[in-house]
Every structure is written in C-alpha cells, then in structure tokens.
C-alpha cells in the first residue's frame, strides 16, 4: 500500500515538473545584469498550469464548511504553512498567476485528489488552502532547517524592498506636490502680468480722457472768446452788457480758472500715480525673478533626489539577482532532497515556490512602478523646460512692454508739460481779459445806478397810482414757495404762478429780480394797468414792489389760441361766441386807444394774449409791453411797431410831426393784429398768409370753402362782412385803416345784433378823463367806493366788501394780521370827498 502511494506521488510530481520550463543557468559573475522586466517575465513563465478548483458536493464540503482567514504580509511570508488548512467562503473560478495560481493536487489517505488553491488578489492578501485530510494532522518538524532559514531571510529582504518601494512612492508624491506648487506660482506670475497689462490699458484710457478734456477745454476757450466778442458787439445795450459781464466775468472766468487749476493738479497727481504704478511693476518683475530662481533650486534638488533613487533602484536589482541565485541554489537542493522525503519535501517546495512567485510578482510590480516614475520624471522635466522657456519669453515681453511704457510716459509727460505751459499762457490772457471785464463791469454798474435812479423816478409815479399791496411771504405761502407745480408759464423776464389769496384765485407774475429790463417792465406795467379798468382787460389786483411781483385775476379757461387749436380735446367755439369775442376785443382796444391824456398801445396783440374766464368772456392780457404814447418818453422807450415779437424799433428824438407819425404807427400795429385775429377766428387757420388766402377766396366768391366748419353754420352775409372788416384792418396803408371806436365798432355792433348778442356802446368809453385818487379805491373791489367804512386795521374799504371778508376771516385784507375787533366805522369825510370828486367829473 505504501509503495503504491509512493509511486503515485512520484508520478504526480513528474507530471507537475514536466510543465515547468528548464531552469536557466546561473549568470556569470562578470555577465551584464538583465533588466528587471525580463527576469520577471522568465520567472512568470515558470508558473504551473492552471487548475480548476472543484470541491465535490458529495463529500460534504460546501462553502459554508470552510473557514476564511485574512493574513497580513508578515503571515503570508513567515506564517506556519503546516497548520490547519484554510478555506474560503467564496467559490470562484481558478485563474492564472496574476489572479489565482493553481497548485498540483495532494493525494490523501483515501486516494482522493484534493486541489490546493492559492489566490492572492488585488483586493486582499488572503490565502485559501483546502485540504480534506488536514483537519486532524499535526505540524511535523522541518526536514531542512538551513533551507527554511534562507527562505526566512529572503522574506525579510522582500519586506525591506517593499518598505523601500513605499518610501520611493512617498518621495515621488512629494516631488509631484512640489511640481504642482511650482505650476501654481507660474500661474500667479501670469496673472500678475495680465494685471499689469490691464493697468497699462487703463493708463492709456486715462491719457485718452485727458486728451478729450484738453480738446473740451479748447472748445470752451473758443466759446468763451466768442462770448467775449458778443459782449463787445452788444456793448451798447446796457442790460445785455450787465448780464454778460456778470455771467462771463463771475461765472465763466472763475469756473475756467478753477477748472485749469484743478486740471493741472489732477494731471500732476496722475503722473505721480503712473510713477508709483511703474515702481510696483518693477517690484513685481523682481518678485517673478526670485520665484524663478527658487523654482530652479527646487528642480536641482529634485534631480538630486531622482539620482539617489536611481542608485537605490540599481542596488535593488543587485539584491534581486542575489535572490535569484539563492533561489536557484534552493531549487537544486530541493531536487537533491526529493528522494529523501517526497511528501514533506513536495509541500515545502510548493510553499517555497509560492513565496518565490509572489515575491517575483511584487518585484515585477516594483519595476513597472519604477518605469512609470521614470516616465513621469521625463514628462516633468519636459514640462519644466517648456515652462522655463515660457517664463523667459514672458520676461522678455515684460521688458519690452516696460520700455515702451516708459517711452510713452516720457512723451506724455512732455506733452503735458507743453499743455501746462499753454494753459498758463491762456490763464494769463484770461486774467488780462478778466481785468478788462472788471473795468467794463464798473462802468456798467455806474450806468445801472443811473437806470435804477430813473426807475425810482418812474416808481414815484407808480406810488401815486392805486393798487393793493401784497407781502412776499403771502405770495410764497400761496404758491408753496413758488413751486414748479404752481407754475403756469415762463418767459425771459418773468414767471407766472397760480395762487389763492384772500378767497380769490389769482395769477402771480414774478419778474426776475436780476433783470433790469424786467424791473423796468414791472414799473411800467404797474403805472399803466393801475390807471385803467375795463371789463375786457385783465385786472391788476395788486403788486409787491419790493420783490417785483404783480397779482392778476385768474382766468381758468386759458387762451383763445388753445381753443382755436382744440388743445387738450377742447370743443370748438361756435360762430356766435367768436363774434362776441371779436366785439369784446374791439371794445378793449378802442378803450386803451382813447385813453386820456395819452393813448395806450398794446404792441403784441395775438390769440395767445386773449384769455377767457369761466363764462368765456374774453379779456386782453399781457399788457407788460404796452406804452403810454406821451412825447417825453419817446426818446428813451422801445416801442413795438409790428404785431410780431421779433421786430422792435426805437424812436429817437423827434418833433411834433414825427411824434404824431410814430403814434399812428403804434396804433396801426394794434389794428393790424386785430384784423389778423378776425380772419383767424373766421377761418380757423394760422396767421401765415391769412390775408392773401381770404382775399383770394373773396375774389373768387369762394369764401364759404375756407370758413371754419367747426364753428357751425356761419351766415354767409355776416361772414363776408367779417372778412371785409378783417382785410381793411390789415391793410398796409396807414390812412386807410378804420377807426376802432368808429366804423369798426359800428360793423361789429350790427353783427352782434344779428347774432342776438348784447351790445353796449359805452363799453370802450373812458369813465373819466383823469384817474381817481388812490385813496378813493376799495382795496378789495378795486373800484371807487360808494359807502366807505373803516376797519380795526385803520384801512378804509367798501362796506359790502369788508363785511363779506369778515364773514369768512378775522384778519386784515391789507396786513393779513388778526383784527382786534370786527367793528366797522363809516368814513363820512372820505365819502364827502368822493362825492365832490364825482360831481367835478360830471361837470367836465
């Protein structure tokens, strides 16, 4: 039985060894060392054939009966392989040496073949052995203690090699980290370069802005010189000279001088900032150079490390060759000892082979890892070389850009110095002009004082005329501080606001206080309008002489121009309303033209100056440019002699004949404007060539085609009479113009009767030859009092007016202060004086 087992064991061993390749002869001592990958490939070809791991289910060995034990590297190399056989809870297919190495089967006592599977994988270093007859066997003593000791030495050396490989991988990882840090530094240097480029672009933009500012300064200088020339041209006009001197001398000159000073300061600051930027750029270049030197030192240090690693790898190869020689010796000893104890020697041989194969596999992995590291090192060196070249190129570009930038800065500084010198020269010229303007301003101030003296003289006349005084605080309160929401309109001399004063809606005309011409117009308007009262003239309710403000009655329906053009979806005016408005305008013009002792001319009559009250009663407004046609005022008064605002003339000193001609000219302008208004109300057209259009239509008998259809069915006969009247009014011959108070009023009165409208022949007649004294006028009604009563504030009012006032308020209409009491005392002395004055007027 024992002989059969021995023969079977020898037969099995021969079959297993026949599959192994022939053992190579040991290399000579002086022979060149083979590369690691060739030795590992030769040793890998010595692996036995792949066996399939099968466990018969009929023998009762299942996966649940096996015990899995995880072994460390130390147990794998130095563990006791003679202990109880290890099993695995996993049943996998057998693989080759890279996955699973199958060993020859072991013959048990019952002549059953039980395969032994050694499966070291990448996931774990578990060793799985399955021996059916190994459960009850005990460890047997070692046959060859010397061979066992050598194997232990080999295992210890293999462990040392593994530790060295780990150290090498750690060093390589550190080198990669150093390389990454170097790349980050290079990126930072690139970012700094990009920032410098952006800063240079910003500097160029600032230079461009400075150029634009200098051009703007030149344009302003040109405009300033033009303004100065204009001021010289219009030096004859006192008001324009004063305004231009104030605006040019105080505003423009001071602003320009301050602007030049600020610009010079800003340019010096910008030059200093550019120098600081250049210094910071040079500092950054130095920092980049220091970083490059540090990176060069680190690269040299890495090269030294790589050289040391190469020496260590060569030492590892020599140790591997030594192990290979020892392995060959051990294999020869194994062959000699096979005949002594076949079973025990086979087990030990298999263990040694497994250890050797695993060790060779690890050596192969180390060689592959070394090859990869060498490739990484080569790529790293190439990358560092490219980066070094890029850094050198970047450095060259920085030097070139720095040189160009410095040249541009020097040229810009030179240009700015030249411009600074030019600006200083211009400043000196402006200073000379400023001194000249100051001299002109002094002369203008003297002339202004003379003009104010004349205005005061005219104001003395105004003080004799009756009007209600308003305080500026009262006007501010009713307009909310002259807020823009209350503003109705504005022109070059005054602004008109809407307000509510003393229970009455009013229109406040506020003249510009700095305009001398506006002040003159204020005194002139007060002097004229306070003398006349007519139902179809806008009533002047009062004034604030200290602040040059006039208070008029408020007319809510706007101007006749708005209604004729149907602005804001206004309904068109009927022909009857238009006929009545024409009669009212004629009445107002006839009234001011027949004023005694001197007639009054409007001078700017148009549809925009004719306002409508709540009952569509028309009232002629904007009498601010009207004039009393008295001979002493003509040499110094600008009189309007054309219906448009753009044509003005000055009447010089003239004799009586010339004065009469001038007066006729001024009256003719109002009649001409009245004729244009008639034709516009008739046709609804604009004033451009209105006379030619109507005259042509009448010659062709086609007047009905141009009559405004929105006014309704205008009777053709009345329309013809109205058109003929309008054409007569706009004639260019002075002597052929009709008289407003005579033939014109007769025609209009007939037309109004035909339209069933009320007429009043005395509407344009002057109520008296001389205006009533101011103390006869009621401050509230602005009429001659018939029953004067004195209130607690000391002022005298019409009894009906003051009682109505006290019913709504307990303050004074004149001072706006609270009254001590509401007692009214009849002023009999004043009443007697008023009655006596009225009797004298009736006698005249």
Residues classed as catalytic: 604
- Six-digit token string for 344: 């025990």
CA–CA gap between residue 815 and residue 473 (Å, rounded): 11
Instruction: Give the tokens for residue 263.
Output: 């610009």
The rounded Cα 59 to chain-centroid distance in angstroms is 90
As a whole number of angstroms, the distance between CA 605 and CA 625 comes to 10
What is residue 572's DSSP assignment?
P
Helix (H), strand (E) at residue 784: none
**Bridge partner residues of 505 (DSSP):** 500
Q: How many CB atoms lie within 10 A of CB 331?
A: 15
State the Cα–Cα distance between residues 545 and 511, nearest whole angstrom.
10
Cross-strand bridge partners of residue 798 = 788
Helix or strand or coil: residue 567?
helix
- The gap from C-alpha 147 to its chain's centroid, in whole angstroms, comes to 90
10 Å Cβ neighbour count for 584? 22
Q: How far apart are CA 701 and CA 699, in angstroms?
A: 5
Say whether 402 sits in a helix, a strand or coil.
helix
Rounded Cα distance between 669 and 740, Å, is 13
Distance CA 726, CA 151 (A): 140
SS (H, E, C) 710-762: HHCCCCHHHHHHHHHHHHHHCCCCHHHCCCHHHHHHHHHHHHHHHCCCCCCCC
- Torsion sign, CA atoms 668, 674, 680, 683: negative
The partner residues of 496 in beta bridges, in order of sequence, read 489, 509
* Residue 370: CB atoms within 10 Å: 21
Find the largest Cα–Cα distance for the chain. 183
The H-or-E segment that residue 799 falls in is: helix 799-808
- Our CA dihedral for 836, 841, 842, 844, rounded to 10 degrees, sits at 130
DSSP string, 49-73: PP------GGGT--GGG-------H
Q: Which two tokens stand for residue 235?
A: 């030096």
Contacts of 750 (CB under 8 A, 6+ apart): 721
Give SS3 for 812.
coil
Alpha carbon distances (Å) from 292 to 130, 193, 407? 63, 14, 28
Paired strand residues for 494 = 511
Q: Can you read off the two tokens belonging to residue 282?
A: 């040079």
**Beta carbons of 676 and 727 less than 8 angstroms apart:** no
Helix pair 253-336, 342-464: axis angle to 10 deg: 170
Cβ–Cβ < 8 Å for 711, 566: no
Beta-carbon neighbour count of residue 94 at 10 Å? 16
DSSP structural state of residue 98: T
Question: Exposed, middle or buried: residue 40 (CB in 10 Å: 0-12, 13-18, 19+)?
Answer: buried
* 240 contacts 234 by C-beta, under 8 angstroms: yes
536, burial (CB in 10 Å: exposed 0-12, middle 13-18, buried 19+): buried
């Amino acid at each position: 039985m024992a002989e059969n087992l021995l023969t079977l064991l020898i037969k099995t061993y021969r079959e297993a060894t026949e599959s192994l390749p022939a053992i190579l002869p040991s290399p000579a001592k002086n022979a060149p060392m083979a590369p690691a990958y060739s030795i590992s490939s030769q040793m890998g070809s010595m692996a036995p054939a792949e066996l399939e791991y099968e466990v018969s289910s009929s023998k009762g060995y299942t996966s649940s009966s096996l015990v899995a034990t995880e072994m460390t590297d130390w147990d794998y190399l130095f563990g006791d392989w003679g202990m109880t056989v290890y099993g695995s809870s996993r049943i996998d297919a057998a693989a080759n040496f890279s996955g699973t190495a199958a060993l020859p089967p072991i013959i048990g006592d019952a002549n059953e073949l039980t395969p032994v599977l050694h499966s070291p994988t990448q996931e774990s270093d578990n060793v799985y052995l399955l021996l059916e007859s190994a459960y009850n066997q005990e460890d047997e003593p070692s046959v060859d203690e010397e061979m066992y000791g050598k194997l232990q030495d080999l295992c210890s050396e293999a462990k040392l090699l593994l530790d060295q490989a780990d150290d090498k991988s750690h060093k390589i990882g550190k080198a990669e980290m150093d390389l990454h840090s170097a790349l980050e530094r290079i990126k930072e240097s690139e970012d700094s370069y990009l920032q410098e480029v952006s800063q240079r672009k910003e500097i160029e933009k600032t230079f461009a802005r400075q150029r634009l500012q200098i051009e703007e300064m030149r344009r302003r200088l040109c405009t300033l010189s033009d303004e100065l020339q204009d001021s010289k041209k219009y030096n004859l006009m006192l008001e324009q000279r004063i305004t231009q001197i104030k605006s040019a001398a105080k505003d423009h000159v001071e602003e320009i001088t301050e602007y030049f000073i600020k610009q010079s300061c800003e340019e010096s600051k910008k030059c200093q900032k550019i120098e600081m930027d250049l210094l910071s750029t040079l500092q950054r270049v130095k920092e980049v150079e220091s970083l490059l030197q540090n990176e060069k030192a680190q690269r040299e240090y890495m090269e030294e490390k790589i050289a040391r690693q190469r020496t260590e790898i060569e030492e590892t190869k020599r140790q591997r060759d030594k192990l290979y020689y020892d392995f060959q010796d051990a294999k020869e000893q194994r062959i000699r000892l096979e005949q002594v104890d076949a079973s025990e020697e086979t087990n030990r041989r298999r263990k040694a082979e497994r250890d050797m194969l695993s060790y060779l596999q690890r050596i192969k992995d180390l060689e592959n890892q070394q090859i990869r590291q060498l490739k990484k090192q080569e790529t790293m060196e190439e990358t560092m070389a490219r980066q070094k070249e890029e850094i050198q190129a970047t450095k060259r570009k920085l030097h070139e850009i720095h040189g160009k930038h410095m040249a541009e800065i020097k040229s810009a500084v030179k240009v700015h110095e030249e411009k600074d010198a030019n600006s200083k020269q211009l400043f000196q010229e402006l200073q000379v002009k400023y001194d000249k303007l100051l001299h002109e301003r002094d002369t203008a101030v003297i002339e202004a004082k003379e003009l104010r003296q004349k205005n005061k003289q005219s104001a003395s006349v105004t003080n004799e005329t009756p009007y209600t005084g308003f305080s500026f605080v009262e006007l501010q309160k009713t307009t909310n501080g002259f807020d823009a929401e209350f503003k109705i309109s504005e022109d070059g001399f005054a602004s008109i606001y809407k307000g509510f004063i003393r229970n009455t809606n009013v229109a406040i005309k506020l003249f510009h206080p700095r305009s001398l011409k506006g002040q003159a117009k204020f005194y002139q308007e007060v002097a004229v309008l306070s003398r006349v009262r007519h139902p179809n003239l806008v009533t002047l309710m009062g004034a604030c002489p200290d602040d040059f403000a006039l208070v008029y009655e408020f007319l809510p329906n706007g101007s006749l121009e708005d209604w004729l053009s149907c602005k804001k979806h206004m309904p068109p005016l009927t022909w009857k309303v238009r006929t009545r408005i024409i009669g009212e305008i004629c009445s107002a013009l006839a009234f001011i033209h027949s004023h005694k002792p001197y007639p009054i001319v409007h001078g700017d009559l148009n549809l925009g100056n004719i306002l409508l009250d709540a009952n569509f009663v028309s009232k002629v407004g904007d009498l601010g440019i009207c004039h009393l046609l008295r001979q002493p005022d003509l040499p110094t008064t600008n009189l309007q002699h054309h219906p448009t605002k753009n044509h003005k003339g000055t009447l010089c000193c003239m004799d009586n004949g010339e004065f009469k001609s001038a007066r006729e000219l001024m009256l003719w302008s109002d009649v001409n404007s009245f004729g244009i208004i008639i034709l516009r109300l008739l046709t609804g057209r604009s004033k451009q060539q209105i006379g030619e259009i109507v005259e042509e239509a009448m010659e062709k008998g086609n007047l009905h085609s141009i009559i405004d259809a929105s006014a309704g069915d205008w009777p053709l006969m009345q329309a013809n009479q109205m058109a003929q009247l309008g054409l007569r009014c706009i004639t260019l011959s002075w002597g052929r113009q009709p008289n407003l108070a005579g033939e014109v009023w007769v025609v209009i009165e007939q037309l109004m009767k035909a339209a069933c409208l009320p007429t009043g022949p005395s509407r344009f007649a002057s109520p008296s030859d001389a205006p009533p004294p101011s103390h006869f006028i009621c401050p509230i009604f602005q009429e001659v009092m018939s029953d004067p009563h004195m209130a607690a504030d000391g002022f005298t009012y019409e009894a009906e007016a003051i009682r109505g006032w006290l019913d709504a308020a307990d303050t004074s209409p004149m001072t706006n202060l609270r009254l001590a009491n509401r007692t009214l005392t009849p002023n009999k002395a004043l009443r007697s004086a008023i009655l006596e004055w009225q009797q004298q007027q009736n006698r005249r």
